[in-house]
Structure 1
Amino acid sequence: MRISLFYEFPLPRPWSEDDERKLFQHGLDEVELADKAGFSTVWLTEHHFLEEYCHSTAPEIFLAAASQRTKNIRLGFGIMHLPPPVNHPARVAERVATLDLISNGRVEFGTGESSSVGELGGFGIDPADKRAMWEEALEVSIRCMIEEPFTGFKGEHVEMPPRNVIPKPLQKPHPPVWVACTRPASVQMAAQRGLGALSFAYTGPGPLAERVQGYYREFEEKCTPVVPQVNPNILAIGGDLSMMLARTDEEAVKRLGKGGGFFAFGIMHYYMTGMHTPGRTQVWQKHLEACEQDPSLVYGPGRGPIGSPATVREFLRGYEESGVDELILLLTPRRHEETMESIELMGKEVLPEFIERHEKAEAEKAKRLEPVLEKVEARRPASTAPLFDETYAFGGLPKGRNDYTANEVSLAMGEMTAGIEEAAQKLRSGQGWDSRNPAADAAVEK
């Protein structure tokens, strides 16, 4: 079982002027240490307008910075929103490919639709359309990564003419593709399409074992791949409270503080029962009030990787026995210095045994899946992408309705050309032509 970290970058109010800068700088320090400690992946979500709960709105920028301070840790979008009003599929392909290149091929491409009224409403998305938007955008973004050129697409939500989208990712044919899953039916859908399942719904090790078995059963029996490279993997959240290690269980619970339950509270507020006034509602204060009424909301043991190294090892072993491929550990509001100590303790006293067992298990899994992959590939449908019309070309000034012409560049080029000609005239009149240097004469003429 791989063990990874999951960031949303919550930032409780009240805010001081420097808080957001510190949030990201502390995150970079933590990811750098997590790389040295042996964590498999850092997963970073993308959310919009969910103030206090999540300030990770441009994950590719943070992950790009992290890529330059790390060597081995994978860099996961957990997830990138694919509905085109949020992220156009060509832009998705460009950003994923760029990150893959500058990280030397360490990207995990997690995808999703969004489920909050804040985001869907903020971008004018009808919730009834979001699954169809995701399906079309996934196809187009992957095709943009691999086709030279992309040959075009016309769907209900995405329409794009042929273009050669650059750059192309380092991982061929594309980085591993995942999809966010909050329900058992979503996990089945991921398996049926050959995608990794980001099972973000908290489930204990017992029920998780059944979900893992169901995923691989669906993959073997019903998978019809929708991407060129299948990704048979299932990931789960390890508990519903933030990771926090210390020398004793008591110290870890003390360090966890009231931030431990903010992840679940934020979900309830933004996705289910809360009413939010932008820039006004005090989400953290509401969380504190809920904790006063029910202190168990933030109590640690048994609800997350919280405690001494021995306690956390035992907690993680339960998930390992479920057969899940990867476990992500939450990092909700907490003190940076104590988080660094927690990551260091994980690296020294917890992760090594899991890394050793995973290397062996991964080899066994690859061998076990060989005949399954043959059956899956035999079900792969023929490509429906149109052939490229070799006579197609684009050029000239952009034309719009009512005879509008976007001629800004042509006007600027006219001014530039006039300036060049004026400089050439001054050179001619002041120095004359240098007949002994034809190359210089030609440069002036140009």
Structure 2
Amino acid sequence: MRFGIFYEHQLPRPWGAGAELRLYQDALDQVELADRLGFDYVWEVEHHFLEEYSHSAAPEVFLAAASQRTVNMRLGHGIVQLPPQVNHPARVAERIATLDLVSGGRVDFGTGEASSAAELGGFGVRRDRKRDMWQDSIDAVTRMFVEEPFAGWQSPYIRMPPRNVIPKPVQKPHPPLWVACSRRETIHLAARNGIGALSFAFVHPEDAGKWVDDYYRLIASEECVPAGFAVNANLAVVLPMMCHEDPEVARERGSLGAGFFAYALGHYYGPSKHAPGTGSIWDDFAAKSPKLGVRGDDPLAGALGSPEQLVELVRRYEAVGVDQMIFVLQAGPNRHEHICESLELFGKKVLPIFAEGRDQREQAKAERLAPAVEAALARREPARRLATPYVIDEDAEVAPTIRSRARGVFGRIVEGRTDAQLERWFGPGQQRVLFALMARQFDPAKAFGFKGEIEFRLGRGSVWTIQVRGDKARAVQGSARNAAVILELPAADVLRLIAGVANPAALLMSGKLKITGDPAFASRVPEMFGAPSPY
């Protein structure tokens, strides 16, 4: 059995000055204490717009701070929301890998879809597509961890060209994967994807045992096709916790927080209507809940008690095969000092009982599952490798228009031709057409009030000038009377620039491109005449 602590960062109204600051600073103090006491995990949720219930919109920031105040605890994203409207897969991969680096390889990557109306509607995620989005995104993200470069993605939800997504995580092939589970069918989903199940259903040990049996049966079956490139066979349950030598004191201190946790959860995930910024879930809870807490037979009350009661409870979950118990102490109005006292007492009287022989039991479990894991990974499609190197093409990637496709064709024609071949083709007639088209595409908004002349010297006596007057431009053959800037480069390289197979910075460094006048203004010239902005 492993042990973790879990944070929603709950903050019931009314909110006083500095309330969120204290909430976060207290949580970091609690995490540091839990690490010293021997807790194995800290789990941090990602939620948006769920005021009072969860003020945890940027878990990666909190976990990064926690990584610098802890030594041994693993840092669990419990969970990252994967619909692309909420988190683009590349940003998820980058953040997870960065956290893995700053923590020295201590990240567990929990994933989920989100299901509250506040979040789905806020980000424009369709409820009937969020499961497909999750499956699509987790496949893409895990490939970003292992593919160099990531070979790109084309799906109804994600469109991304090949890129090398960096940095890469410390843990290979990637941090352990988990998914949030609230029902039996999502436990099955976790097992079929070969990932850990984070159960937020608050179930009794006997019910949890049925889920464990289902989970490990599917992990060992042919239905298991891993979502990632490693299998994480673990099932965790979450419960509110408060520990005191006197169980009545523990219940008194923790019952209100557990009750609010359940009530606020039902508020956002049930039929209740919420008025952002004006409603008070705490007031509703206080008015509608006569006992302001939880009953003794409620699973939410199971971990509110003495150390001896908690030992007995943990043994029941351990006996049915649960791998990790995650405790919610920061809930509702629970007080910081009571949370710290509970952690201290649990760490002193409960944790040591379950530490003995744990490593050996986990090793035996890994050996028992090894054949099933190997068979499951053989069913997973491998990482991809590009047959030929991919070259970034902004036009084709961002705006696959007729113009960009034509430019791609032109690039293939120009690439590989010698200077002599290109200069023979790019004679006076073709130059006239080119500069006339440039003048026609002049964009006054990109000129920022410029009026004057720009001279182009193409070698072998070929000189062209574009004159800008007001919001119009025209091309004339010959030198400028008073050029604001003079750009001098071989005619062949003009074609290569147009085709996108030459780099202006490289031409400048090699001496092929010479600028007379203001270099900063010169850098804006292509954009003034229809080229995409480089910034």
Assess same fold via TM > 0.5. yes
Q: CA deviation at 1:273?
A: 2.4
More off after superposition, 276-285 vs 365-374: 365-374
| Contact 1:82 1:112 (8 Å CA) reproduced | yes
The runs of 5 or more residues in structure 1 that have no matched partner are 420-446
The residue aligned with 2:26 is 26
The residue aligned with 2:58 is 58
| Contact 2:198 2:236 (8 Å CA) reproduced | yes
How many residue pairs get aligned? The number is: 411
Structure 1 pair 375–195 and aligned structure 2 pair: CA distance change class (3 A): same
The residue aligned with 2:14 is 14
Structure 1 pair 370–284 and aligned structure 2 pair: CA distance change class (3 A): same
Structure 1 pair 343–375 and aligned structure 2 pair: CA distance change class (3 A): same
The residue aligned with 2:386 is 387
The residue aligned with 1:258 is 256
The residue aligned with 2:464 is none
More strand by share: 2
Q: CA deviation at 1:317?
A: 1.4
Q: 1:210 & 1:297 partners in 2: Cα distance?
A: 24
Q: CA deviation at 1:396?
A: 8.8
Q: How does 1:276-425 map to 2 (within 5 A)?
A: 276-292=274-290, 294-295=291-292, 297=294, 303-331=301-329, 332-333=331-332, 334-378=334-378, 380-383=379-382, 385=384, 387=386, 389-394=388-393, 417=519
The residue aligned with 2:225 is 224
Q: 1:309 & 1:377 partners in 2: Cα distance?
A: 41
Q: 2:442 & 2:367 partners in 1: Cα distance?
A: 61
SS at match of 1:78: strand
| Contact 1:291 1:297 (8 Å CA) reproduced | no
The residue aligned with 1:248 is 246
| Contact 1:67 1:103 (8 Å CA) reproduced | yes
Structure 1 pair 46–230 and aligned structure 2 pair: CA distance change class (3 A): same
SS at match of 1:243: strand
Pairing 1:156–2:153 present = no
Q: CA deviation at 1:309?
A: 1.2
Structure 1 pair 270–395 and aligned structure 2 pair: CA distance change class (3 A): closer
Pairing 1:234–2:235 present = yes
Structure 1 pair 418–368 and aligned structure 2 pair: CA distance change class (3 A): closer
Structure 1 pair 384–229 and aligned structure 2 pair: CA distance change class (3 A): closer
The residue aligned with 1:121 is 121
The residue aligned with 1:430 is none
Q: CA deviation at 1:182?
A: 1.2
The residue aligned with 1:93 is 93
The residue aligned with 1:431 is none
| Contact 2:8 2:53 (8 Å CA) reproduced | yes
Q: How does 1:125-204 map to 2 (within 5 A)?
A: 125-204=125-204
| Contact 1:397 1:407 (8 Å CA) reproduced | no
Q: Spell out, residue by residue over 1:7-51, the C-alpha distance to the aligned partner (whole angstroms, 9 max, x if none).
A: 100001110120000000000000000111111111110000000
SS at match of 1:201: coil
Q: How does 1:67-78 map to 2 (within 5 A)?
A: 67-78=67-78
More off after superposition, 82-91 vs 330-339: 330-339
The residue aligned with 2:512 is none
Q: CA deviation at 1:80?
A: 0.4
Q: CA deviation at 1:397?
A: 12
Q: Structure with the greater relative contact order (CA < 8 A, sep ≥ 6): 1 or 2?
A: 1
Q: 1:418 & 1:133 partners in 2: Cα distance?
A: 44
Structure 1 pair 236–34 and aligned structure 2 pair: CA distance change class (3 A): same
Structure 1 pair 56–174 and aligned structure 2 pair: CA distance change class (3 A): same
| Contact 2:5 2:327 (8 Å CA) reproduced | yes
- Give the letter aligned to residue 88 of structure 1: H
SS at match of 1:4: strand
Q: 1:404 & 1:245 partners in 2: Cα distance?
A: 73
| Contact 1:258 1:291 (8 Å CA) reproduced | no
Q: 1:89 & 1:356 partners in 2: Cα distance?
A: 40
Q: 2:259 & 2:347 partners in 1: Cα distance?
A: 24
The residue aligned with 1:441 is none
Q: CA deviation at 1:295?
A: 4.7
Q: 1:301 & 1:111 partners in 2: Cα distance?
A: 27
Q: CA deviation at 1:266?
A: 1.2
Q: CA deviation at 1:358?
A: 2.4
Q: CA deviation at 1:351?
A: 0.5
Structure 1 pair 252–384 and aligned structure 2 pair: CA distance change class (3 A): closer
SS at match of 1:297: coil
More off after superposition, 91-100 vs 175-184: 175-184
SS at match of 1:35: helix
More helix by share: 1
Q: 1:404 & 1:197 partners in 2: Cα distance?
A: 58
Structure 1 pair 356–144 and aligned structure 2 pair: CA distance change class (3 A): same
| Contact 2:77 2:111 (8 Å CA) reproduced | yes
Q: 1:382 & 1:28 partners in 2: Cα distance?
A: 40
| Contact 2:46 2:57 (8 Å CA) reproduced | yes
* TM-score (ref. length: structure 1): 0.86
Q: 1:215 & 1:384 partners in 2: Cα distance?
A: 26
Structure 1 pair 83–369 and aligned structure 2 pair: CA distance change class (3 A): same
Q: 2:186 & 2:520 partners in 1: Cα distance?
A: 61
The residue aligned with 2:108 is 108
Q: 2:64 & 2:338 partners in 1: Cα distance?
A: 25
Q: 2:53 & 2:24 partners in 1: Cα distance?
A: 15
| Contact 1:45 1:78 (8 Å CA) reproduced | yes
| Contact 1:260 1:298 (8 Å CA) reproduced | no
- Give the letter aligned to residue 38 of structure 1: G
Q: 1:232 & 1:314 partners in 2: Cα distance?
A: 25
Q: CA deviation at 1:207?
A: 1.2
| Contact 2:286 2:292 (8 Å CA) reproduced | no
Q: CA deviation at 1:296?
A: 5.3
Structure 1 pair 391–191 and aligned structure 2 pair: CA distance change class (3 A): closer
More off after superposition, 294-303 vs 190-199: 294-303
The residue aligned with 2:526 is none
Structure 1 pair 311–381 and aligned structure 2 pair: CA distance change class (3 A): closer
The root-mean-square deviation of aligned C-alpha atoms, in Å, is 2.7
